[in-house]
């Protein structure tokens, strides 16, 4: 399989400060993506910009705040955005396809499987999929928040080699370089610590929704799924290829994790836990560091009502989440078996499998 590269471009890179598409920037990025495509790599684009492209067209003086207004602007802007991309990619003889996704699509195993099959076929045909959130139908509480997160989920879904998040700054710095001339760029990150999150800052531009923090959070999701990430700048011809080849103007986020299967992606990223199981230190270590299953002896307690086949969250005795898994016990069975040895469980509780969560149905969270 050819290397798969997911590239995310935000609103501020594609539109003017006042709103509306900057066609010169769209043409530039399409040229960069086309050049990457010509190297034989499979390229997927996650793009923002629908609301920013559309709000002026329907008479809003500034980016709208109300959900229904943003949905209306997105309905107009998405068509304008795709038209611009189709024309720009057409100059290089490349066909582009539109894929609109919602968080609900990822939470439903059949729907996201269907989306993956469509993406696989498009890439096999040499088409560049252009992916955006379906803003016109998305409920506010179920939005991705910004397309940084969406791009990480897409990168994991297609088992990409790399996620390239393009922004208007050349990576993550030890401090804000606009205020502190002594700030230094961080070239490589192997672990996203609290310090890294603290220096990532907060707000984005008035046109976009994501700041550096959301990009670091997206890099963390990508790393958990075994995808290397890059956050940086591409403003000159050749910058995108340089970023892919390790010579980019930005920060690289390295991981030694392996790509997760679709089943484990769904468990770890998209499922909704139906309950919570608390485990002791030994069980936490067995699950996270030793690749073992969860047995009743390591369980301290359980909360919520769940049934065999449901996804549950597992936490340590401090209440910190350590992962998620598909449970083989009902909640009352977990409570009855908690802390018991295997022999005692066999005597007292009628269960089909001894493992409360099998290691093949488990995904750890980074500590």
| The pLDDT of residue 11 is above 50 | yes
Confirm if 216 and 191 have CB atoms less than 8 A apart.
no
239: annotated binding-site residue?
no
209: annotated binding-site residue?
yes
48: annotated binding-site residue?
yes
Helix (H, G, I), strand (E, B) or coil at 206: coil
Q: Do residues 259 and 278 both lie within one domain?
A: no
pLDDT tens per residue across span 268-301: 888 889 999 999 999 999 999 999 999 999 999 9
Q: What is the pTM of this model?
A: 0.84
Q: Do residues 258 and 332 both lie within one domain?
A: no
**DSSP string computed for 208-219:** -S--HHHHHHHH
pLDDT value, residue 203: 43
Confirm if 119 and 6 have CB atoms less than 8 A apart.
no
Q: Do residues 245 and 329 both lie within one domain?
A: no
Q: Do residues 343 and 360 both lie within one domain?
A: yes
Sheet arrangement for strand 321-327? 299-303, 276-279, 311-315, 321-327, 357-364
- The pLDDT-based confidence of 206 (bands split at 50, 70, 90) is very low
CATH number at residue 85: 3.40.1160.10
Q: Do residues 178 and 141 both lie within one domain?
A: yes
Q: Do residues 26 and 142 both lie within one domain?
A: yes
Last residue of a domain, one of 263, 282, 306: 263
8: annotated binding-site residue?
yes
Written as six digits, the tokens of 223 are: 């790393």
**Residues listed for the chain:** 367
What is the number of domains present in the chain?
2
Q: Alpha helix (H) ranges present in the chain? A: 11-14, 23-38, 50-54, 67-90, 103-107, 109-124, 147-157, 194-199, 212-224, 239-244, 262-265, 281-288, 331-337, 342-348
Phi, psi at 310, each rounded to 5°? -80, 160
Identify the domain containing residue 65 by its residue range. Answer: 4-263
Q: Do residues 303 and 155 both lie within one domain?
A: no
Q: Do residues 256 and 282 both lie within one domain?
A: no
pLDDT tens per residue across span 34-78: 999 999 999 999 999 898 899 999 989 888 888 889 889 999 999
Q: Do residues 87 and 202 both lie within one domain?
A: yes
Last residue of a domain, one of 263, 280, 310: 263
Between 81 and 258, the higher pLDDT residue: 81
CATH number at residue 284: 2.30.130.10
Q: Do residues 186 and 55 both lie within one domain?
A: yes
293: annotated binding-site residue?
no
Q: Do residues 285 and 226 both lie within one domain?
A: no
Judged by average pLDDT, the poorest of 53-62, 196-205, 220-229, 232-241 is: 196-205
Q: Do residues 144 and 232 both lie within one domain?
A: yes
- The pLDDT-based confidence of 158 (bands split at 50, 70, 90) is very high
135: annotated binding-site residue?
yes
213: annotated binding-site residue?
yes
| The pLDDT of residue 366 is above 80 | no
233: annotated binding-site residue?
no
167: annotated binding-site residue?
yes
Last residue of a domain, one of 210, 241, 263: 263
255: annotated binding-site residue?
no
């Amino acid at each position: 399989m050819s290397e798969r590269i997911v590239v995310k471009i935000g609103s501020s890179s594609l539109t003017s400060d006042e709103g509306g598409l900057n066609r010169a920037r769209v043409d530039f990025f399409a040229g960069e993506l086309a050049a990457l495509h010509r190297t034989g790599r499979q390229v997927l684009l996650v793009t923002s910009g629908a609301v920013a492209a559309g709000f002026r067209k329907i008479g809003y003086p500034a980016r709208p705040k109300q959900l229904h207004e943003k949905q209306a602007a997105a309905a107009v802007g998405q068509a304008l955005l795709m038209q611009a991309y189709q024309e720009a990619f057409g100059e290089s003889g490349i066909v582009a396809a539109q894929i609109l996704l919602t968080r609900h699509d990822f939470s439903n195993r059949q729907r996201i499987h269907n989306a993956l099959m469509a993406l696989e076929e498009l890439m096999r045909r040499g088409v560049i999929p252009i992916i955006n959130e379906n803003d016109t139908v998305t409920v506010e509480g179920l939005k991705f928040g910004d397309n940084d997160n969406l791009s990480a989920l897409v990168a994991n879904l297609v088992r990409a080699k790399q996620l390239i998040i393009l922004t208007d700054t050349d990576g993550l710095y030890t401090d804000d370089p606009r205020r502190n001339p002594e700030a230094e760029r961080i070239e490589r990150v192997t672990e996203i610590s609290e310090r890294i999150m603290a220096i990532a800052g907060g707000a984005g531009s008035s046109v976009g929704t994501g700041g550096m923090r959301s990009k670091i959070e997206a890099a963390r999701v990508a790393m958990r799924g075994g995808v290397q990430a890059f956050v940086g700048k591409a403003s000159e011809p050749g910058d995108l290829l340089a970023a892919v080849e390790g010579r980019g103007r930005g920060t690289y986020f390295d991981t030694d994790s392996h790509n997760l299967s679709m089943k484990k992606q769904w468990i770890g990223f998209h499922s909704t836990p139906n309950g919570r199981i608390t485990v002791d230190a030994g069980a936490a270590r067995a699950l996270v560091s030793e690749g073992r299953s969860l047995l009743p002896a390591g369980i301290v307690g359980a909360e919520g009502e769940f049934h065999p086949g449901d996804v549950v969250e597992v936490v340590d005795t401090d209440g910190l989440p350590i992962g998620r898994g598909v449970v083989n016990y009902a909640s009352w069975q977990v409570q009855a078996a908690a802390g018991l040895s295997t022999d005692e469980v066999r005597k007292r509780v009628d269960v089909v499998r001894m493992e409360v969560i099998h290691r093949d149905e488990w995904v750890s969270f980074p500590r």
